Amino acid sequence: MEQTMIPPNVEEYIAVQRAAIASNPECGTSHYNLAVGLLGQKNYEEAEKELLEAIDCSPTLAEAYVLLGGIALQRGDLEGCLSFNKRAINVRAGFSEGWGNIGFVNLQLGRVDDAIHALEKAISYNPKFIQAVSTLANAYLMQNDLDKSIELNFRALEIDPGFAIAHNNLAISYMEKGDKELATTHFAKATEMGYATAPELLADLEKMN
């Protein structure tokens, strides 16, 4: 899932947002901004309260539903995360982050077809949404559609040539295809970029003819 951008000076940022709320308690954006700062302090309980206030003031604030989904995920509540992200796309149909998170959670729950549907939606609204592209590649890999998975991982590398996990995932697809040479090449590229490939995958690679 997408990570929230945390302001560099969290304490000062929180103080500014509290002052804004004091002068205008009905401003949903200020409650949302305060929640972002509180998340930067890992104060999940108070952040959750502020996000609910934000939604109460501004029911169409899709970003608030997504952050509530993130808090649910942090607690291990996948269905709760899914529910909040569905509410996000209900208030903003073209919200790519909401669709991407729905795809991510469905994939975690083993609902691969639902994940693919949501992730295709996410990248239709934002073709540069690299996490959605990469997760979609994984979904197709789980369906054993290796060519589609490879295509999407190369698309992720077009968006960001330094996206190491795409090389790792390409290597896995090429292993499944029985192409040891290309698998070795992409594992090496992932390692060069700082990605720690699972040792058991490298062991399986060594066993290939």
CATH number at residue 63: 1.25.40.10
User: Where does the pLDDT of residue 79 fall: very low under 50, low under 70, confident under 90, or very high at 90 and above?
Assistant: very high
Q: Among residues 41, 60, 93, which one ends one of the domains? A: 93
Q: Check: CB of residue 156 under 8 Å from CB of residue 130.
A: yes
The whole-chain average pLDDT of the chain stands at 95
pLDDT at 93 over 70: yes
User: Where does the pLDDT of residue 1 fall: very low under 50, low under 70, confident under 90, or very high at 90 and above?
Assistant: low
- Is position 101 within any domain? no
What is the extent of the structural domain holding 141? 111-209
Cα separation of 61 and 53, whole Å? 11
Q: Are residues 141 and 187 in the same domain?
A: yes
User: Where does the pLDDT of residue 6 fall: very low under 50, low under 70, confident under 90, or very high at 90 and above?
Assistant: low
What pLDDT, in 10s, does the model give residues 25-66?
Answer: 999 999 999 999 999 999 999 999 999 999 999 999 999 999
pLDDT at 209 over 60: yes
| Coil/strand/helix, residue 11 | helix
Q: How many CB atoms lie within 10 A of CB 79?
A: 10
What's the pLDDT at 8?
64
Q: How many domains does the chain have?
A: 2
What's the pLDDT at 14?
92
What's the pLDDT at 9?
84
pLDDT at 2 over 70: no
Q: What percent of the chain has pLDDT over 70?
A: 96
User: Where does the pLDDT of residue 10 fall: very low under 50, low under 70, confident under 90, or very high at 90 and above?
Assistant: confident
What's the pLDDT at 4?
54
Q: Among residues 60, 93, 126, which one ends one of the domains? A: 93
Cα separation of 118 and 182, whole Å? 30
Q: Are residues 63 and 126 in the same domain?
A: no
Q: Are residues 118 and 200 in the same domain?
A: yes
- Is position 98 within any domain? no
pLDDT at 75 over 60: yes
Cα separation of 209 and 200, whole Å? 16
Cα separation of 185 and 150, whole Å? 14
User: Where does the pLDDT of residue 5 fall: very low under 50, low under 70, confident under 90, or very high at 90 and above?
Assistant: low
Mean pLDDT of 128-136: 97
